């Protein structure tokens, strides 16, 4: 009697081990297939069209005989089943897109049912994420292009209007006195014209941080008196600024001015809404020149994000200015940091004394 119980126990044990091994094999197969699908999606760079086309080749390995899909998100792509068999399906209909997927496994009962349900869920989720990424990328791209166009159009229209007025005025210069006033106004505008030209050119040259190298036209390098440049900008923007210290950098002037102009423009915009003062310290530190700009205005929300491209806290802002500043400084071998402090907002700008920007796409030395 006891012997029989032993045999029964051993038999039961063996059965349990075999069942466990079987389930382990199944689970392995399922997790391998799931991982393969995820990796394939990554390899295809989250392109929903390529993904849905290629993924079923992998699914054949786990005995999925047939499949169909219909995906609509602007473009529509679909595939009908080649057999009459019914499988398992999942669908979603949203405002911007809809997805329908059906897979037909060879065997679909008992424990296998759960494996195929997991595969279907994974497939559906990946496709949904790919479509959402695509929609978001397309929408953001169009929105950023529109914003960029608005900015460039604003400046270009002003330039066109300036030319209209200029040509009208030239024709009306008749006396030496007219000539004197005409030249006087042009001189008063020259700084602004040069800043605007610089801004437009740089706006057109905007590109990702790690984009392809771009050879720029050489601007003549010279020693730039940083204090004087900042005093000119403060005067231009009518800002109350205390400037301490001085230093020189040997660089293309337009680029250096553009960096500080962007920072001053932000302080000026803030000064239209709140009463602020600014103080600047300029000093040398070994081979670098450091400028610290502090404005007593309100703190910047999410300050760690302000150098991100197209990130802006302003209504209808473009979010390019500070990104350009950071890009230019990094390519010069310099850097910029921003901090909310008890006294206001502080920007620390570090630039090498000698700056080379001939190849603006080169990584910093």
Residues that bind other proteins (CB under 8 A): 147, 150-151, 153-154, 157-158, 160-166, 168-169, 172, 181-182, 185-186, 188-189, 192-193, 196, 268-270, 272-273, 314-318
Shortest Å distance, C-beta 320 to other proteins: 12
Q: How far is CA 133 from CA 154, 217, 274, in A?
A: 31, 37, 39
- Residue with Cβ nearer other proteins (4 or 238): 238
| Smallest distance, other proteins to C-beta of residue 261, A | 13
Give phi and psi for 154, each to the nearest 5: -55, -50
Contacts of 329 (CB under 8 A, 6+ apart): 259, 335, 336, 349, 350, 351
Q: Please say which residue, 20 or 161, places its beta carbon nearer to other proteins.
A: 161
For other proteins, which is the closer residue by CB, 286 or 315? 315
* H or E element in which residue 201 lies: helix 176-204
- Minimum Å gap between C-beta 193 and other proteins is 5
The residue assigned the tokens 């850097």 is 335
Minimum gap (Å) between residue 52 Cβ and other proteins: 40
β-strand pairing of 241-244 with 278-285: parallel
Q: How far is the CB of 155 from other proteins (least distance, A)?
A: 8
Of 77 and 185, the one with the shorter C-beta distance to other proteins is 185
Cα–Cα dist 256/278, whole Å: 19
Question: For residues 333 and 355, is the Cβ–Cβ distance under 8 A?
Answer: yes
Helices (H) then strands (E): counts for the chain: 7, 11
CB of 74 to other proteins, least distance (A): 25
Q: What tokens appear for 36 in the block?
A: 């393969």
Rounded CA separation 191/96 (Å):
48
Task: Kindly tell me which of 56 and 182 has the beta carbon lying closer to other proteins.
Answer: 182
Chain center to CA of 306: 12
Minimum distance of other proteins from residue 156's CB (angstroms): 8
CB nearer to other proteins: pick between 334 and 344: 344
- Integer Cα distance of 122 and 88 in angstroms: 13
Find the shortest distance in angstroms from Cβ 136 to other proteins.
23
Nearer to other proteins, 75 or 176 (CB): 176
Cβ proximity to other proteins: between 157 and 242 the closer is 157
- Residues near 64 by beta carbon (within 8 Å), at least 6 away in sequence: 56, 103, 104, 105, 106, 116, 119
**CA nearest neighbour of 80 among 47, 108, 102, 52:** 102
């Amino acid at each position: 009697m006891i012997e029989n119980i032993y045999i029964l126990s051993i038999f039961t044990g063996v059965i349990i081990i075999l069942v466990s091994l079987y389930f382990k094999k199944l689970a392995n197969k399922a997790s391998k297939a799931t991982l393969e699908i995820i990796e394939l999606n990554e390899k295809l760079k989250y392109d929903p069209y390529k993904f849905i086309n290629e993924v079923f080749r992998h699914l054949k390995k786990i005995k999925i005989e047939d499949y169909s899909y219909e995906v609509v998100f602007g473009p529509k792509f679909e595939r009908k089943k080649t057999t009459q068999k019914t499988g398992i399906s999942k669908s979603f209909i949203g405002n911007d897109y809809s997805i329908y997927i059906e897979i037909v496994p060879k065997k679909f009962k008992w424990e296998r049912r759960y494996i195929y349900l997991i595969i279907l869920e994974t497939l559906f989720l990946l496709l949904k994420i790919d479509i959402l990424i695509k929609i978001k990328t397309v929408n953001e791209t169009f929105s950023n292009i529109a914003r960029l166009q608005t900015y460039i159009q604003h400046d270009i229209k002003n330039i066109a209007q300036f030319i209209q007025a200029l040509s009208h005025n030239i024709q009306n210069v008749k006396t030496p006195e007219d000539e004197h006033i005409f030249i006087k106004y042009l001189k008063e505008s020259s700084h602004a014209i040069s800043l605007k030209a610089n801004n437009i050119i740089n706006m057109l040259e905007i590109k990702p941080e790690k984009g392809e190298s771009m050879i720029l036209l050489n601007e003549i390098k010279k020693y730039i008196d940083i204090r004087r440049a900042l005093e000119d900008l403060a005067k231009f923007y009518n800002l109350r600024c205390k400037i301490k210290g001085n230093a020189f950098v040997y660089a293309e002037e337009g680029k250096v001015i553009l960096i500080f102009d962007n920072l001053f423009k932000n302080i000026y915009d803030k000064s239209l809404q709140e009463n602020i003062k600014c103080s600047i310290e300029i000093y040398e530190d070994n081979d670098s020149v450091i400028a610290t700009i502090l404005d007593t205005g309100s703190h910047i929300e999410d300050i760690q994000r302000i150098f991100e491209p197209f990130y802006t806290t302003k209504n209808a802002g473009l979010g390019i200015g500070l990104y350009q500043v950071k890009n230019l400084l990094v390519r010069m071998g310099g850097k910029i940091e921003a901090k909310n402090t008890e006294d206001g907002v502080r920007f620390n700008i570090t630039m090498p004394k000698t700056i080379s920007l001939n190849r603006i796409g080169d990584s910093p030395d």
